Amino acid sequence: MGLLAWVGLVPLMVAISGRSSGLGFLLSYICGIIFFAGVFTWIFDVAGYKIWHHAVLGVFFGLYFGFFGWAFNFISKRLGIIYGYFAAPFFWVCLEYLRSNLSFMALPLPLLAHSQYQFPVIIQIASLTGAYGISFLVVSVNAALSAMFFASVRSTGINAKKRPTHSLLSKRGKIAIMLSTASVVAFVLLYGKLNLSEPHTGKMIKVSVVQGNIDRQKKLNPRRHKKFIMQRYADLTKKASKDGAALIVWPEAATPGFVLKKLPLMKKTVSLIRETKTHFIIGSSEYPKFIKERFDPKKYGNTAIFFSPEGKVLGQYLKIKLTPFGEFIPYDEIIPWPKFIVPEGKKSFELPGEDHTIFELNGAKFGVIICWESHFPGLFRAFVKKGANFMLNITNEGWFGEAGLYQKMVTSVFRAVENRVSIARAANTGVSCFIDPYGRITGRVQNNGKDILVEGYLTQNIPLSHERTFYTSYGDVFVYLSIIMMGLIIVLSIFRSKKRP
């Protein structure tokens, strides 16, 4: 329901306009708690996740909304409310960036930009600004609408006595915010139109993605269900191989065991690869997530293995960005985590990779990102900077509720636009899909109209990209400029107490 994002912040911004900084923080904080508690209800599907975990999530991440409300009113009080509306999108971008990169507490979804993934014209600006530029645009529109609505309320005298004089909006201020917002929107739409009008004339490569839909209970007991799991993937793979793809992709941790360490499993896998006579990317892990067992972290990791049609291992990528509390326990030797967050006996048990591995197939270069990694634009663009012509995202999100499967898929749309590369996504339970360099989802694995919690495969020709976008080359320059602008506004607010309309 992406259209609602363009007015979604209006009630909050009108409610806090002209209030004290403290009340602005409180109202925004309550809004943030409700927002995060609601948007992440799908995490309750994870075994052991309880209401108090959800409370901690809402209370902590709701602070980002709270600080937004505080800054908005602090600036409004010191400089005048028109400056508060002007600064709102800059501060929102700064807070989203902080939330997305705060060490092990990073939570880069859902950003406000993600609500626009179904509107290709709007999201093309991400090739310059990253997804944060779209969040900036959406907040700018919300701020302009809030200013107009609040001004009309003030002009009628409704509740006016409770709002101080610095909350008055001058006619010149209203015109300025409307014209500036309209200019930004016009630029984004024009940029999007021009980009989408460019036809792709480059080479293509045919790729098949396989969606096994292995139930989480079977994933929790891979040894017991290894025959079923391998048979499921073998049946789907043989069907997919008839499409003549150059590459067949299995999801994250698809094999019931670490294929390079277990000889019987290796023999079965190689036999299937030789039968299909195709290159493979296979997700493999010695053990599934969320299992309390002891492993040597120096030997095991979450990997993607590249096989030749003869079954020879051509390369391996080891997941770099591990999932906090799922694949590692942050600072477990320093922080005495309470048992309700980290169960007793749970240890850091996966080894992170260090190399942005690039594979090559028929002259085309590609990289693989695994699960959680797709949410981090800096990590993704590192592969493209090293020469990747297309990207793969392998994942297993079957631990989460249905809404989570879609939220996680959406981030891949923005990675494609930011770097102008195609993405083939293979997910255990969905959504497995193909995304073109402009962020358009060109096909999904479906069964009876459903694209999640179903088994299947899909084969498509995907375009190879050789161009490098501004974002690929320079990263989050737009965010850094927003941080500088926000810093200047705050400094000006501190040293200039004269209130202006």
Give the pLDDT band (50/70/90) at residue 278: very high
Q: Which of 45-49, 265-269, 291-295, 443-447 is predicted with the least confidence, judged by mean pLDDT? A: 291-295
Q: pLDDT of 3-53, one tens digit each?
A: 999 999 999 999 999 889 999 999 999 999 999 999 999 999 888 888 999
In angstroms, the CA 26 to CA 11 distance is 15
What's the CA angle centered on 386, arms 301 and 436, to 5 degrees?
90
pLDDT over 70 at 345, yes or no: no
Sequence spans of domains, the chain: 2-198+476-495, 204-465
Catalytic site residues? 252, 319, 371
In angstroms, the CA 279 to CA 281 distance is 7
Evaluate the omega torsion of the peptide bond into residue 256 and state whether it is cis, within 30 degrees of 0: no
Give the pLDDT band (50/70/90) at residue 391: very high
Q: What's the whole-number mean pLDDT along residues 299-326?
A: 90
Helix axes 402-419, 377-385, angle to 10 degrees: 40
Under the phi-then-psi rule, with left for phi > 0, alpha for psi from -120 to 50, and beta for the rest, what region is 217? alpha
Which candidate, 374, 386, 387, places its Cα nearest to that of 416?
Answer: 374
Q: Which of 97-106, 389-398, 475-484, 490-499 is predicted with the least confidence, judged by mean pLDDT? A: 490-499
What is the predicted pLDDT for the residue at 300? 75
In angstroms, the CA 17 to CA 427 distance is 44
For the chain, give the number of residues: 501
Give the pLDDT band (50/70/90) at residue 399: confident
Q: Which CATH class is domain 204-465?
A: alpha beta
Identify the burial level of 483 via C-beta atoms within 10 angstroms of its C-beta, where 0-12 means exposed, 13-18 middle and 19 or more buried: middle
pLDDT over 80 at 127, yes or no: yes
In angstroms, the CA 252 to CA 250 distance is 7
pLDDT over 80 at 162, yes or no: no
| Contact partners, residue 107, CB within 8 Å, separation at least 6 | 61, 99, 100
Q: What percent of the chain has pLDDT over 70?
A: 91
Q: What's the whole-number mean pLDDT along residues 163-174?
A: 62
pLDDT over 90 at 154, yes or no: no
What is the predicted pLDDT for the residue at 258? 83
Q: What's the whole-number mean pLDDT along residues 213-240?
A: 91
What is the predicted pLDDT for the residue at 339? 80
Q: pLDDT of 78-121, one tens digit each?
A: 888 889 999 999 999 999 999 999 999 999 989 999 999 999 99
What is the predicted pLDDT for the residue at 158? 45
Tokens of 416: 């494609």
What is the predicted pLDDT for the residue at 169? 63
Give the pLDDT band (50/70/90) at residue 155: low
Compare 444 and 155 and report the one with higher pLDDT. 444
Q: pLDDT of 59-73, one tens digit each?
A: 999 999 999 999 999
Q: What's the whole-number mean pLDDT along residues 318-332?
A: 88
Reduced to 3 states (helix: H, G, I; strand: E, B; else coil), residue 214 is: coil
Looking up tokens 């609040």 gives 150
